[in-house]
Amino acid sequence: MHEAMDPHDERRLSRRIPLGCDALIRPVNGQAAHPAICLEIGTGGMTMESDYVPGLAEQLDVLVRQPDGGADRPPLHVRVEVKRCHKTASGAYQLGVQIVQVLK
């Protein structure tokens, strides 16, 4: 009999694409926007680094610019939900987020 897989482990089963693209975090509650870097993106979520410290399960609007040298397209605009956040050695915060809606 197989054990049920922890849903947190499933996020790593989807392919993740490393990016390092500029991004912008806009809290849904109307607070000021914060610059970020989208470190990697997958089909259901992304990892970002920023000085913004969100709450767990907080929803954010995120704009991710295309990589340099990529096609000239508007930024990816998504609504995400924060699944994890921890401080890195550099003092920034790494956010793991789930995409809940593609806005543009």
Three-state secondary structure call for residue 22: strand
Domain interval for residue 73: 17-102
Show the tokens assigned to 59.
């929803």
CB 39 within 8 A of CB 88: no
Q: Is residue 12 part of a domain?
A: no
Q: Supply the pTM of this predicted model.
A: 0.80
Residue 36 domain-assigned (yes or no): yes
Identify the CATH number of the domain in which residue 82 sits.
2.40.10.220
Residue 7, in any domain of the structure: no
* Residue 8, in any domain of the structure: no
Query: What are the tens digits of pLDDT across the range 17-73?
Result: 778 899 999 999 888 999 999 999 998 999 999 999 999 999 999 999 887 666 677
Count of domains observed in the chain: 1
**41 CB burial (10 A radius; 0-12, 13-18, 19+):** buried
Contacts of 32 (CB under 8 A, 6+ apart): none
16/60: higher pLDDT: 60
Residue 75 has pLDDT above 60, yes or no: yes
In a domain, 68, yes or no: yes
